[in-house]
C-alpha cells in the first residue's frame, strides 16, 4: 500500500494531545500513540478513519473501558453500536476483561436492537412517570403528525423479519389486485425499504411526477403500513424510523432519551444509512460525545441504503469534530496487505490512505483457476487437509452468494472436513424452523400470519376462508384473537356454532384452539427449549416430518433451534436490564390487545425476548466461538472478522463482481467487498475460480474475476490447477494467463452449444471487461471548483472527455453528471474523480 499520501481532508484536532492523559490504566499500554489519542479523546466528537485491521474496533473497546475507569462515566450512559449482535457481545466481553469483573450496564448493541429497546421501553406509563406527563402523550404525538409517520406500537408488538414482512406485503398487493407476475413483490418492497432508509416517504409517491414503479410501490406501501400496524407488528426499518419520528414529534421524549446517551460510539460507520445518522444526531445531548470509526474502503452496504456521505461529511455535520487516522495494520502480513491495497486502489470513490504493517515476510496470496466449481471445492479441501498447523476454526471460506456453499459443503462432507456454515437467516428461513416459530409466536400473541402458517402445518382442514371468517367474528379483532376467545371461553362448541361455523369446522377449530391453550400452559412453566419439543409433539409436527423426506435433517434443525434457544435465553438473562421486562398494563385500545398470554410473567417474557432476539439475529451471530470447524460464510457476513487462513472462492466475472453490479450497478462496491474479504486474512490468502460453474441448475462458463487482474501482478501468485497433476508444480507470475485453457475439451458437456460459443480466452489482461482509459488528445490542467459548471467540458482519466450536464451538492460533496463522448453518461464525485479541463 504505497499510495501517495492522500490530500489532507481533515486536520487532527491539536487540542487532544497525547500528553494530556497519563495512562494510569494499564490497558492503555496496549495501544499505539494514534490509537491512544483516539481512545482518550475528550470534549467533542471524533471520527476515526482508518483501513482494515488498524485497530478501530480495539479503539472503541478501550475507549469504553477508559470512559468508565478513568473518566468515571456511568456505564449506563454509554452506548456503543456495532454491526452485529456477536460483535456487541465480544465487545462486552473485552470491556469486562479490561475492567475486571463487575457488571457493565453499558448499551452494547446493534442499531436495530437499540430501536427495539427504545420502543419496548417507551410505554405510556414509563414515559409519564419519567417526565410527569399525563394522558397518552406518546400515542397522541403519533397521531398529531397527521402523516402517521410516528406510531407507538402496542406493548405486545412483535418484529416481523424479512419473510414475514414480505408475506404481509404480498397480501396487500393481492388485495389491490396487483399480480405478482407484473409487480415483483420483493423488488417493490426493497425499493420502499431503500427509500425509507434515505428518509423518503413512499406514501407520497402517488404524485404524477413519479415513475410507474414508484407510484405502484407507494400504493402498496400505504396498505402495507396499515396492515403492519393493524397486526401490531414492526419491520426492520420501523425499528429505526419509529424511534426517530417519535422523538422528533415529542421533544420531551427526545430529551429524556438523549440524557442516557452521554457517550455514543459507532462501529462500522461507513455502512450506516441516513436514518441511522439522524438517530445518532437525535440521541446526542448537548454535552454528549460521539466517536465513530470507519473505513470508506469497507463500505459494502450501499445497495441497501448505506450512505458514505455520513463519513465524508462528518466534520460538516458535527462542527469542531476531530479526525484521527490510524495507519498501522496489526492483522495481516505485508504481502496480503499489499495485494489488497493494490486492488482497492482501482476504486475512484475513496479518500485513499496509507497502511503499513510490521509483519514483514509471509507468503503471497495465491490464485488458482479450476475447471469446475466442484474441483474448486476439492482444491480448497486439499489445501486444508495439507495444513497441519492451523486450527480449523481459524480457516474461513468466503463467497459472494450463499448458493456457493452447497458445493463446498458437499465436498467437505465427503472428505470429512469439519465445517460450519455461518448464516443465521439461512437457518431461520428453513421451513421447519419457520413453522415451529409460528407456533411459538401464536402462544405469545394473536398473530394471524402465524395462525395461517401453524394451522396449515400439519394440515387440519382449515383454510383461508375459515380464517377470514374467524377474522370477521369480532369487528376489529384478529382471527387469532377470535379463535382464542371462542376456544377458551365457556361452552366453546356453542360459541363456534353461534359464530356461524359448521359443526365439522367448529370441531377442528376447537381442537386447534385447545392445542394452543395447552401449549400456553407449558410455555408458562417450561424453558423455551422444552417448549419446542412439546410443541412439535402435540401439534403433530413430528409426525408430519416423519411422513416426509429428510426427516432426520429437519428434526436435527429443530434440535438446533432448541439448543439455540437455551443459549439465547441464557445470554439474554445476562444482558437484560431490569427494564426489559415490560409489564403490559390493561390497555384501553382494543386494537392494541395483541397479547395472547394474559399477564403471566416469567417464562412468557423469556419466550417473547427469545422471539425478539431471533428476529434481530444477524448472519454472523449464529457462529459460536469455540466450536471447531472451517467457517463457511458470505463475504458480507465476514465483515469485521479475522482468520489465519482465508479462501475467497468463486473469483469469477458475473459472480464476483456479480452480474447485477456489472449492469449499471456498483462495481466499486464489489471491489470493496473483495478488499474486505482479502483483509480478513492474517497469514494466508487463497483466491480461487472455476471455469465452469453450475448456476441455478444451468452450467455456466465464466472468466476469472477482473479483481484478480487488478491486483498488482507482482503481489499474487497464479497456479494452474486445471490439470491436477500439475497442481503446485509451477508457480508463476501472471503476465499472461495462457496455459489455463487445457482440459475442457474432454468434458461431456462440451457438445452443449453454450460451451462452444465461448471464445477461447487466453489472456485475462485482455478481458473486455477491463476498461481501457479513453485518451484525450490536447493539453489539460487539473480542474478547480470554478471549472465545474453545467455545460463545461471536463476530461476524466478513465472515461475521457465529456460535458457536465447536472451538478449537485457543493464542496467535498459536489457531484457531477457528465455525458462522456465515448462512454456514456455517468455521475462522478468531483473530489474523487481527478478531473481535468482543456487548457
Ligand X SMILES: Nc1ncnc2c1ncn2[C@@H]1O[C@H](COP(=O)(O)OP(=O)(O)OP(=O)(O)O)[C@@H](O)[C@H]1O
Partner DNA sequence: ATCGTTGCTCTTTTT
Partner DNA sequence: GAGCAACGAT
Task: Name the site residues for ligand X (rule: CB under 6 A).
Answer: 30-32, 35, 50, 52-58, 295, 298, 330-331, 640, 642, 679
Write the DSSP symbol of residue 421.
Answer: E
Residue 336 in contact with residue 679, Cβ under 8 Å?
yes
Q: Which of 275, 616, 690, 702 contacts DNA by CB under 7 A?
A: 616
Beta bridge partners of 368: 688, 719
* DSSP, residue by residue, 170-205: HHHHHHTT--TTTS-HHHHHHHHHHHHHTT--GGGT
Q: Which of 40, 466, 557, 683 contacts DNA by CB under 7 A?
A: 466
x-marked contacts with DNA along 144-163 as a string, rule CB under 7 A: -----------------xx-
Nearer to ligand X, 317 or 642 (CB): 642
Give the integer Cα–Cα distance in Å for 443 and 809. Answer: 52
110 contact choice in ligand X, DNA, none (CB below 5 to 8 Å, kind-dependent): DNA
55 contact choice in ligand X, DNA, none (CB below 5 to 8 Å, kind-dependent): ligand X
Please give, one letter per residue, the 3-state secondary structure of 712-753.
CHHHCEEEECCCHHHCCCCEECCCCCCCCCCCHHHCHHHHCH
* DSSP, residue by residue, 64-80: HHHHHHTS---GGGEEE
| Site size for DNA (CB under 7 A) | 50
The footprint of DNA on residues 623-682 (CB under 7 A) is 634, 636-637, 658, 660-661, 665
Q: Which of 51, 75, 153, 424 contacts DNA by CB under 7 A?
A: 424
Min dist. Cβ of residue 308 to ligand X (A): 15
Give the integer Cα–Cα distance in Å for 200 and 220. Answer: 15
Write the DSSP symbol of residue 356.
Answer: B
Nearer to ligand X, 330 or 755 (CB): 330
Strand (E) positions, 381-485?
A: 395-399, 419-421
> Does residue 460 bind DNA (CB under 7 A)?
yes
Strand (E) positions, 731-835?
A: 731-732, 780-782, 793-796, 800-808, 815-820, 824-829
Q: Where are the alpha helices (DSSP H) in 41-100?
A: 56-69, 85-99
Nearer to ligand X, 390 or 403 (CB): 390
620 contact choice in DNA, ligand X, none (CB below 5 to 8 Å, kind-dependent): DNA
56 contact choice in DNA, ligand X, none (CB below 5 to 8 Å, kind-dependent): ligand X
Min dist. Cβ of residue 243 to DNA (A): 14
Place of cell 407520497: 204
698 contact choice in DNA, ligand X, none (CB below 5 to 8 Å, kind-dependent): DNA
> Does residue 620 bind DNA (CB under 7 A)?
yes
The angle subtended at Cα 720 by Cα 717 and Cα 722, nearest 5°, is 150
> Does residue 406 bind DNA (CB under 7 A)?
yes
Burial call 90-117: b when 16+ CB within 10 Å, e when fewer: bbbebbeebbeeeebebbbbbbbbbbbb
Nearer to DNA, 112 or 419 (CB): 112
Give the integer Cα–Cα distance in Å for 716 and 176. Answer: 56
The angle subtended at Cα 433 by Cα 428 and Cα 437, nearest 5°, is 95
Min dist. Cβ of residue 57 to ligand X (A): 3
**In sequence order, which residues have a C-beta less than 8 Å from that of residue 765 and are 6 or more positions away?**
709, 735, 736, 737
* Count of C-beta atoms within a 10 Å radius of residue 696: 6
Nearer to ligand X, 271 or 376 (CB): 271
**Stretch in the footprint of DNA (CB under 7 A) among 28-36, 104-112, 481-489, 553-561:** 104-112
**Stretch in the footprint of DNA (CB under 7 A) among 139-147, 425-433, 719-727, 755-763:** 425-433
Q: Which of 72, 696, 729, 757 contacts DNA by CB under 7 A?
A: 696
Give the integer Cα–Cα distance in Å for 512 and 483. Answer: 9
* DSSP, residue by residue, 477-544: S-HHHHHHHHHHSSSHHHHHHHTT--HHHHHHHHHHHHHHHHHHHHHHHS-HHHHHHHHHHHTTHHHH
Min dist. Cβ of residue 107 to DNA (A): 15
> Does residue 403 bind DNA (CB under 7 A)?
yes
Burial call 152-171: b when 16+ CB within 10 Å, e when fewer: bbbbbbbbbbbebbbebbbb
563 contact choice in DNA, ligand X, none (CB below 5 to 8 Å, kind-dependent): none
Nearer to DNA, 39 or 667 (CB): 667
Q: Which of 16, 25, 110, 288 contacts DNA by CB under 7 A?
A: 110
Nearer to ligand X, 55 or 657 (CB): 55
Residue sitting closest to ligand X (CB): 55
* CA nearest to 53, candidates 257, 352, 461, 359: 359
465 contact choice in DNA, ligand X, none (CB below 5 to 8 Å, kind-dependent): DNA
**Helices H / strands E in the chain, number of each:** 33, 23
Nearer to ligand X, 311 or 536 (CB): 311
**Long-range contact list for 471-479, CB < 8 A, 24+ apart?**
473/499, 476/590, 476/591, 477/446, 477/590, 477/591, 477/593, 478/231, 478/446, 478/447, 478/448, 478/451, 478/594, 479/448, 479/451
Min dist. Cβ of residue 458 to DNA (A): 8
The distance of Cα 655 from the centroid of its chain, to the nearest Å, equals: 20
Min dist. Cβ of residue 784 to DNA (A): 36
Give the integer Cα–Cα distance in Å for 402 and 383. Answer: 22
**In sequence order, which residues have a C-beta less than 8 Å from that of residue 19 and are 6 or more positions away?**
none
Q: Cell triple for residue 287?
A: 454535552
> Does residue 111 bind DNA (CB under 7 A)?
yes
Q: Which of 84, 310, 372, 557 contacts DNA by CB under 7 A?
A: 84
The angle subtended at Cα 482 by Cα 481 and Cα 487, nearest 5°, is 100
Min dist. Cβ of residue 146 to DNA (A): 27
The footprint of DNA on residues 163-222 (CB under 7 A) is 170, 180-181, 190, 193
The angle subtended at Cα 302 by Cα 296 and Cα 304, nearest 5°, is 145
Q: Which helix (H) or strand (E) holds 698?
A: strand 698-701
111 contact choice in DNA, ligand X, none (CB below 5 to 8 Å, kind-dependent): DNA
**Stretch in the footprint of DNA (CB under 7 A) among 38-46, 388-396, 399-407, 440-448:** 399-407
535 contact choice in DNA, ligand X, none (CB below 5 to 8 Å, kind-dependent): none
Min dist. Cβ of residue 46 to ligand X (A): 15
Min dist. Cβ of residue 36 to ligand X (A): 9
Nearer to DNA, 448 or 619 (CB): 619
Min dist. Cβ of residue 354 to ligand X (A): 14
The angle subtended at Cα 617 by Cα 611 and Cα 622, nearest 5°, is 115
x-marked contacts with DNA along 286-315 as a string, rule CB under 7 A: -----------------xx-----------
Nearer to DNA, 386 or 549 (CB): 549
Burial class (CB in 10 A: 0-12, 13-18, 19+), 533: middle
Place of cell 383461508: 464
Nearer to DNA, 235 or 447 (CB): 235
Min dist. Cβ of residue 451 to DNA (A): 12
x-marked contacts with DNA along 225-254 as a string, rule CB under 7 A: -----------xx-----------------
Please identify every residue annotated as catalytic: 56-57, 267-268, 298, 680
Nearer to ligand X, 350 or 603 (CB): 350
Nearer to DNA, 95 or 421 (CB): 421
Which residues are at the interface with DNA (CB under 7 A)? 83-84, 110-112, 161-162, 170, 180-181, 190, 193, 236-237, 303-304, 400-403, 406, 423-425, 429, 431, 456, 459-466, 616-620, 634, 636-637, 658, 660-661, 665, 696-698
Amino acid at each position: 500500500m504505497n499510495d501517495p499520501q492522500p490530500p489532507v481532508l481533515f486536520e487532527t484536532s491539536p487540542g487532544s494531545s497525547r500528553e494530556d492523559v497519563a495512562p494510569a490504566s494499564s490497558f492503555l499500554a496496549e495501544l499505539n500513540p494514534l490509537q491512544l489519542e483516539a481512545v482518550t479523546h475528550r470534549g467533542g466528537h471524533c471520527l476515526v478513519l482508518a483501513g482494515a485491521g488498524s485497530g478501530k474496533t480495539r479503539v472503541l473497546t478501550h475507549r469504553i473501558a477508559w470512559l468508565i475507569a478513568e473518566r468515571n462515566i456511568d456505564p449506563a450512559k454509554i452506548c456503543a453500536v456495532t454491526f452485529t449482535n456477536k460483535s456487541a457481545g465480544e465487545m462486552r466481553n473485552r470491556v469486562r476483561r479490561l475492567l475486571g469483573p463487575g457488571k457493565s450496564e453499558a448499551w452494547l448493541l446493534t442499531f436495530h436492537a437499540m430501536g427495539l429497546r427504545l420502543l419496548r421501553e417507551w410505554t405510556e406509563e414509563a414515559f409519564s412517570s419519567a417526565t410527569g406527563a399525563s394522558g397518552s402523550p406518546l400515542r397522541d404525538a403519533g397521531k398529531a403528525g397527521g402523516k402517521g409517520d410516528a406510531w407507538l406500537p402496542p406493548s405486545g408488538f412483535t418484529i416481523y423479519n424479512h419473510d414475514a414482512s414480505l408475506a404481509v406485503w404480498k397480501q396487500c398487493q393481492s388485495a389491490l389486485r396487483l399480480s405478482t407476475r407484473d409487480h415483483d413483490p420483493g423488488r417493490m418492497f426493497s425499493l420502499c425499504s431503500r427509500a425509507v432508509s434515505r428518509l423518503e416517504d413512499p406514501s407520497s409517491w402517488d404524485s404524477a411526477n413519479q415513475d410507474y414503479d414508484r407510484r405502484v410501490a407507494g400504493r402498496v406501501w400505504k396498505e402495507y403500513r396499515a396492515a403492519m400496524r393493524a397486526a401490531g407488528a414492526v419491520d426492520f426499518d420501523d425499528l429505526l424510523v419509529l424511534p426517530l419520528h417519535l422523538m422528533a414529534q415529542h421533544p420531551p421524549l427526545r430529551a429524556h432519551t438523549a440524557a442516557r446517551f452521554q457517550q455514543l460510539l459507532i462501529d462500522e460507520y461507513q455502512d450506516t444509512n441516513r436514518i441511522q445518522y439522524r438517530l445518532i444526531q437525535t440521541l446526542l445531548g448537548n454535552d454528549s460525545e460521539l466517536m465513530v470509526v470507519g473505513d470508506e474502503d469497507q463500505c459494502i452496504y450501499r445497495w441497501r441504503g448505506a450512505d458514505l456521505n455520513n463519513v465524508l461529511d462528518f466534520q460538516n455535520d458535527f462542527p469542531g469534530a476531530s479526525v484521527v487516522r490510524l495507519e498501522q495494520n496489526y492483522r495481516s502480513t505485508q504481502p496480503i496487505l499489499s495485494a489488497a491495497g493494490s486492488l482497492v486502489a482501482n476504486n475512484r470513490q475513496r479518500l485513499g490512505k496509507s497502511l503499513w504493517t510490521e509483519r514483514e515476510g509471509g507468503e503471497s496470496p495465491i490464485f488458482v483457476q479450476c475447471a469446475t466449481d466442484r474441483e474448486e471445492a476439492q482444491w480448497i479441501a486439499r489445501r486444508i487437509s495439507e495444513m497441519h498447523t492451523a486450527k480449523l476454526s481459524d480457516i474461513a471460506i468466503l463467497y459472494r452468494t450463499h448458493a456457493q456453499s452447497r458445493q463446498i459443503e458437499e465436498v467437505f462432507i465427503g472428505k470429512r472436513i469439519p465445517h460450519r456454515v455461518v448464516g443465521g437467516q439461512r437457518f431461520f428461513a428453513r421451513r421447519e424452523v419457520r413453522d415451529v416459530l409460528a407456533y411459538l409466536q401464536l402462544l405469545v400473541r394473536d398473530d394471524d400470519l402465524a395462525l395461517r402458517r401453524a394451522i396449515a402445518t400439519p394440515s387440519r382442514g382449515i383454510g383461508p376462508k375459515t380464517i377470514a371468517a374467524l377474522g370477521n367474528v369480532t369487528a376489529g379483532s384478529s382471527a387469532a384473537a377470535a379463535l382464542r376467545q371462542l376456544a377458551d371461553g365457556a361452552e366453546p362448541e356453542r360459541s363456534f356454532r353461534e359464530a356461524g361455523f359448521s359443526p365439522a369446522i367448529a370441531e377442528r377449530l376447537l381442537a386447534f384452539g385447545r392445542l394452543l391453550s395447552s401449549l400456553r400452559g407449558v410455555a408458562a412453566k417450561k424453558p423455551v427449549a422444552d417448549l419446542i419439543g412439546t410443541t412439535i409433539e402435540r401439534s403433530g409436527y413430528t409426525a408430519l416430518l416423519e411422513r416426509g423426506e429428510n426427516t432426520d435433517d429437519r428434526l436435527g434443525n429443530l434440535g438446533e433451534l432448541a439448543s439455540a434457544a437455551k443459549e439465547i435465553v441464557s445470554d439474554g438473562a445476562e444482558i437484560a436490564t431490569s427494564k426489559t421486562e415490560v409489564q403490559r398494563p390493561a390497555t384501553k385500545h382494543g386494537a392494541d390487545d395483541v397479547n395472547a398470554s394474559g399477564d403471566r410473567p416469567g417464562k412468557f417474557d423469556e419466550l417473547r425476548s427469545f422471539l425478539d432476539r431471533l428476529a434481530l439475529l444477524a448472519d454472523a451471530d449464529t457462529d459460536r466461538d469455540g466450536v471447531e470447524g472451517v467457517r463457511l460464510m458470505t463475504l458480507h457476513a465476514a465483515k469485521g472478522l479475522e482468520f489465519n487462513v482465508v479462501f475467497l472462492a468463486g473469483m469469477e466475472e458475473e459472480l464476483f463482481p456479480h452480474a447485477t453490479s456489472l449492469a449499471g450497478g456498483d462495481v466499486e462496491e464489489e471491489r470493496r467487498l473483495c478488499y474486505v474479504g482479502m483483509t480478513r486474512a492474517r497469514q494466508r490468502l487463497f483466491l480461487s475460480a472455476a471455469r465452469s460453474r453450475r448456476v441455478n441448475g444451468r452450467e455456466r462458463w465464466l472468466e476469472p474475476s477482473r479483481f484478480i487482474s487488478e491486483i498488482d501482478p507482482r503481489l499474487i501468485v497464479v497456479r494452474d490447477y486445471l490439470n491436477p497433476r500439475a497442481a503446485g508444480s509451477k508457480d508463476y507470475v501472471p503476465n499472461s494467463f495462457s496455459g489455463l485453457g487445457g482440459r475442457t475439451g474432454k468434458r461431456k458437456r462440451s457438445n452443449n452449444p453454450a460451451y462452444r460459443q465461448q471464445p477461447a480466452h487466453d489472456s485475462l489482461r485482455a478481458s473486455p471487461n477491463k476498461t481501457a482509459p479513453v485518451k484525450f488528445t490536447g493539453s489539460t490542467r487539473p480542474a478547480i471548483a470554478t471549472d465545474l459548471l453545467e455545460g463545461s467540458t471536463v476530461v476524466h482519466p478513465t472515461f475521457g472527455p465529456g460535458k457536465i450536464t447536472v451538478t449537485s451538492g457543493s464542496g467535498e460533496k459536489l457531484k457531477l453528471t457528465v455525458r462522456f463522448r465515448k462512454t456514456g453518461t455517468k455521475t462522478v464525485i468531483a473530489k474523487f474523480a481527478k478531473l481535468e479541463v482543456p487548457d
